[in-house]
Chain A
Amino acid sequence: MSIDGAPASRQADVTPAHRPSADGALRPGRRWHAPARAVGGILVAIALWELISVSGIVKAQALAGVGPTASALVTHSGRLLSAAGGTLEAWGVGLGIAALLGITLGSLVGRSPVAEAFTEIVVRMMRPLPSLALIPVAILIAGLGLKMTAGLVAFTSFWPIFINTRYGVQQVDNLFIDTARTLGLTRARLLLRVIVPAAAPLIASGLQVAISLALVVTVSVELVSGSGGIGTFVMQAQQGNAVPTMYAGIISGGILGWILNRGFATLSTRMLPWANRLEQR
Chain B
Amino acid sequence: MSVVQPTLRAHGTARRALRARLRNWALGLLGLAAAVGVWQLSSGFVGSTLMPGFAPSASDAWTILTGPVLSQDLIPSIERTLAGFAISAVLGVSVGLITGYYRAAREWTAGVFDFLRSLPTPLLIPVALTLFGLGGNMVVAVIVTAATWPVLINTANATRALDPTLVDTARALGLRGPAFMSRVVLPAVSPQIFAGLRVAISVSLAVMVVAEILGGSSGIGYFIANAQQSFAITDSYAGVLILCLLGWAFDSFFLLIEHRLLAWQRGTVGGGQHV
How many chain A residues have a CB neighbour from B under 8 Å?
Answer: 80
A128-B205, A219-B120, A258-B114 given; A117·B126 CB < 8 A: no
Q: Which of B4-12, B100-108, B175-183 makes up part of the contact surface? A: B100-108
Give the docked Cα–Cα distance between A254 and B158 (Å).
Answer: 26
B205 close to A130 (CB less than 8 A): yes
Which of A4, A117, A127, A262 is in CB contact (< 8 Å) with B24?
A: A117
- Interface flags, A42-57, vs B, CB<8A=1, else 0: 1011000000000000
User: Residue A268 at the B interface, CB < 8 A?
Assistant: no
In chain B, positions 61-82 with a C-beta closer than 8 Å to chain A are none
- CB nearest to B165 among chain A residues: A5
A125-B32, A128-B250 given; A5·B122 CB < 8 A: no
Give the docked Cα–Cα distance between A40 and B107 (Å).
Answer: 9
- Chain B hits for A41, CB < 8 A: 107-112
- CB nearest to B237 among chain A residues: A137
- Chain B hits for A12, CB < 8 A: 194-195, 198-199, 255, 258
User: Residue B44 at the A interface, CB < 8 A?
Assistant: no
How many chain B residues have a CB neighbour from A under 8 Å?
Answer: 86
A128 close to B251 (CB less than 8 A): yes
User: Residue A34 at the B interface, CB < 8 A?
Assistant: yes
- Chain A hits for B23, CB < 8 A: 117
**Could you show 26 A-B contacts with beta carbons less than 8 Å apart?**
A4-B163, A5-B166, A5-B269, A7-B191, A7-B269, A34-B110, A42-B112, A62-B131, A63-B127, A120-B31, A121-B29, A122-B31, A122-B35, A128-B201, A128-B247, A128-B250, A130-B202, A130-B205, A133-B206, A133-B221, A136-B228, A234-B123, A237-B126, A238-B127, A250-B123, A262-B118
Give the docked Cα–Cα distance between A57 and B69 (Å).
Answer: 38
Closest-CB distance, A72 to chain B (whole angstroms): 15
A117-B28, A258-B118 given; A140·B111 CB < 8 A: no
B233 close to A140 (CB less than 8 A): yes
- Chain B hits for A262, CB < 8 A: 114, 118
Which of A10, A120, A140, A171 is in CB contact (< 8 Å) with B191?
A: A10
- Chain B hits for A176, CB < 8 A: none
- CB nearest to B109 among chain A residues: A41
A250 close to B205 (CB less than 8 A): no
B126 close to A234 (CB less than 8 A): yes
In chain B, positions 84-126 with a C-beta closer than 8 Å to chain A are 103-104, 107-112, 114-116, 118-126
Interface of A is mostly: helix
User: Residue B239 at the A interface, CB < 8 A?
Assistant: yes
In chain B, positions 233-265 with a C-beta closer than 8 Å to chain A are 233, 236-237, 239-240, 243-244, 247-248, 250-251, 255, 258
- CB nearest to B274 among chain A residues: A10
Give the docked Cα–Cα distance between A64 and B153 (Å).
Answer: 29
A5 close to B120 (CB less than 8 A): no
- Chain A hits for B30, CB < 8 A: 118
User: Residue A61 at the B interface, CB < 8 A?
Assistant: yes
B119 close to A250 (CB less than 8 A): yes
- Interface flags, A262-274, vs B, CB<8A=1, else 0: 1000000000000
User: Residue A37 at the B interface, CB < 8 A?
Assistant: yes
B120 close to A224 (CB less than 8 A): no
From B1, B125, B160, residue with most partner A Cβ within 10 Å: B125
User: Residue A74 at the B interface, CB < 8 A?
Assistant: no
Give the docked Cα–Cα distance between A109 and B47 (Å).
Answer: 32
- Interface flags, A250-264, vs B, CB<8A=1, else 0: 100111011011100
In chain A, positions 213-245 with a C-beta closer than 8 Å to chain B are 215-216, 218-220, 223-224, 230-231, 234-235, 237-238
A34 close to B107 (CB less than 8 A): yes
Give the docked Cα–Cα distance between A131 and B50 (Å).
Answer: 18
- Chain B hits for A40, CB < 8 A: 108
B214 close to A223 (CB less than 8 A): yes
Give the docked Cα–Cα distance between A4 and B32 (Å).
Answer: 40
User: Residue B58 at the A interface, CB < 8 A?
Assistant: no
In chain A, positions 124-169 with a C-beta closer than 8 Å to chain B are 124-137, 139-141
- Chain B hits for A223, CB < 8 A: 122-123, 125-126, 210, 214
Give the docked Cα–Cα distance between A220 and B207 (Å).
Answer: 9
A4-B163, A7-B195 given; A130·B251 CB < 8 A: no
Closest-CB distance, A269 to chain B (whole angstroms): 16
B1 close to A124 (CB less than 8 A): no
Which of B107, B118, B207, B224 is in CB contact (< 8 Å) with A33?
A: B107
Give the docked Cα–Cα distance between A237 and B157 (Å).
Answer: 37
Leading 9 A-B pairs by shortest Cβ distance = A128-B247, A38-B111, A136-B228, A5-B163, A257-B118, A238-B126, A254-B119, A121-B28, A130-B206
B111 close to A39 (CB less than 8 A): yes
User: Residue A192 at the B interface, CB < 8 A?
Assistant: no
Give the docked Cα–Cα distance between A215 and B255 (Å).
Answer: 28
User: Residue A280 at the B interface, CB < 8 A?
Assistant: no
User: Residue A186 at the B interface, CB < 8 A?
Assistant: no
Give the docked Cα–Cα distance between A108 and B172 (Å).
Answer: 52
